Structure 1
Amino acid sequence: MFGRYKINLNSNATLHFLSIEKYNTRLKIYIENNIHFIWNGDNEIIESADDIIICKEELKTLMAKKSPEQKIGIVSEFICHLYLRANKFKQHFLFRNLEEKGMKKGFDGLYLLKDEYFIYESKSSLETTLDATHNSNISEAYNDLKKKIEGVNSTNDPWRNAYNHASHRSIDFDDKISKTLKKLSKEYVQKKYSKIEKYNIIPSSTLYLGTRFSPIDKEDLKDKIEQLIKPYKFNHIDVLCVNKESIQHFIDYLDE
């Protein structure tokens, strides 16, 4: 479905390589079964087939207003959220609000897996950016997470945004996460910043390749990412790299 290759480097680091050229039937069905919940939250009940249609229309309206860079960001994040859900990561945010830019000054996502929470950050590159690499995108995502967590350019409190999402009625409420995020937000305001080595993180990279599409060279990228993350600090890291042909397949799906 995702053309996935998963590598456990050690007990604290996992690599996920996805290669998506076309949208096969299985992937489309999985999107259809999840799009409403990614957009609106897992507690938002589907009352009729119209709810899925409305969700698609809202996404199409959102995409129509965005720049090419913003469009690839939206599709990249959606596909990564779809994949993480398929791997038992529980979504504790609304994609709807993330992409309305009210949340973009915070994290790109917050997940729960086996009672541990993970912070997600996404970077993507246009197919016209010929020198783009997964290493450069992962590096940018990691550094963004580090700056947000450690209070660099601390005008905006990312924990408050995450708390607002995790407390939303459409999200499965988790008291432990809610209290933790609220505490972190208070400390952030007091300039008592955290260190990234305490956190579980998911930096992701999506490369749009167009006619240059090819599946990820698994061994080559494994070696490159393994070297890249050696100096990184974290409690656990899941690195997510995606080779994708085009956003047009997602747009076509929305039009179906």
Structure 2
Amino acid sequence: MKKYIENNLHFIWNGDNEEIESIEDLKVTKQELINLIENKSAVQKIGIVAEFICHLYLRSNNFKQHFLFRNLEEKGMKKGFDGLYLQNDLYFVYESKSSLESTMDSTHNGNISEAYNDLKKKIEGTNAVNDPWRNAYNHSVHRSVNFNENISKTLKKLSQDYVQKKFSKIDNYNIIPSSTIYLGARFATIDKDDLKVRIESLTKDYKFQKIDVLCINKNSIQQFINYLNE
């Protein structure tokens, strides 16, 4: 796992076209992540680490990353969608939700429901404040991201429509809602059969073109932070 993180960390943060010229590049990337995490609230910290682990998993399953984990605009997490991926010529929008160890009643169904509703609100323009498509477009055309002309043109048109309040329907999109639960001393592996039944029951009335649901149990974020500080 550590080796896999080492092989992907720099590219998740900077984009797949950002070459590693020396070991110093990886050290800088680790420090940038440390700088991002430190001084954040507990909720923000678990959110950052949970999202990173999910990106690791998606990349290992042949989802091609078309965004940077780092924010282009400020020293915080990016606004808009948590990610945009391409797999088999289909693009997916991704949203991550996570729960603190102290949240005793947290469930994957609860987090997935929250992630789906956030995606729906962003896509359909409910309480529209920030244009999520403009942010996705800005990431898609960055030189460090593998350029895909069709994706960039689509994102630009969606952004233009969004500004003009011509909103889309989530029914037409491929989506990835994810849930990460931190359990600490209560850690237990997921009962996959039970989870599948619960998730299928939850999503049977959801609207989407295609959906991939990602659920992860973790002990804590400390091992990842220890790794960054090595």
Same fold (TM over 0.5): yes
Letter in 1 for 2:8: N
Q: TM-score normalised to the size of structure 2?
A: 0.97
Which consecutive residues of structure 1, in runs of 5 or more, have no partner in the other structure?
Answer: 1-26
Contact 2:70 2:76 in 1 (8 A): no
Give the structure 2 partner of residue 6 of structure 1.
Answer: none
Structure 1 residue 114 and structure 2 residue 88: aligned? yes
CA RMSD in angstroms comes to 1.1
Q: Do 2:189 and 2:217's aligned partners in 1 also have CA atoms closer than 8 Å? A: yes
CA distance in structure 2 between the partners assigned to 1:171 and 1:220 by the alignment: 38
1:58 aligns with 32
The structure whose residues are more often strand, as a share, is 1
| TM-score normalised by the chain length of structure 1 | 0.88
In the alignment, the residues of structure 1 paired with residue 53 and residue 75 of structure 2 have an alpha-carbon distance, to the nearest angstrom, of 17
- Aligned pair partner of 2:115 in 102, 117, 141: 141
**Could you report, residue by residue, the CA deviation over 1:205-235 in whole angstroms, capped at 9, with x for unpaired residues?**
0000000001001111111101000000000
2:57 match: 83
Residue 103 of structure 1 deviates from its aligned partner by 2.4
- Aligned residue pairs total 229
Any conservation in 1 of the 2:93–2:176 contact (CA below 8 Å)?
yes
Q: Say if 2:194 is the partner of 1:217.
A: no
Answering whether residue 115 of structure 2 is matched by residue 163 of structure 1, we say no
Query: After the TM superposition, which residues 1-256 of structure 1 pair with which residues of structure 2 at under 5 Å, given as runs?
Result: 27-97=1-71, 100-101=75-76, 103-104=78-79, 106-256=80-230
Alignment-mate amino acid for residue 87 of structure 1: N
Shift of 1:186: 0.5
Matched letter for residue 205 of structure 1: S
* Greater RCO, 1 or 2 (C-alpha within 8 Å, sep 6+): 1
Letter in 2 for 1:103: K
- Report SS of the residue matched to 2:212: strand
Cα distance in structure 2, aligned partners of 1:70 and 1:248: 14
8 Å contact from structure 2 (residues 171, 209) kept in 1: yes
Aligned mates of 1:192, 1:84 — CA distance in 2: 31
Offset, 1:249: 1.0
Query: Is the 8 Å Cα contact of residues 50 and 98 (structure 2) preserved in structure 1?
Result: yes
Q: Quick one: distance in 2 between partners of 1:84 and 1:100?
A: 24
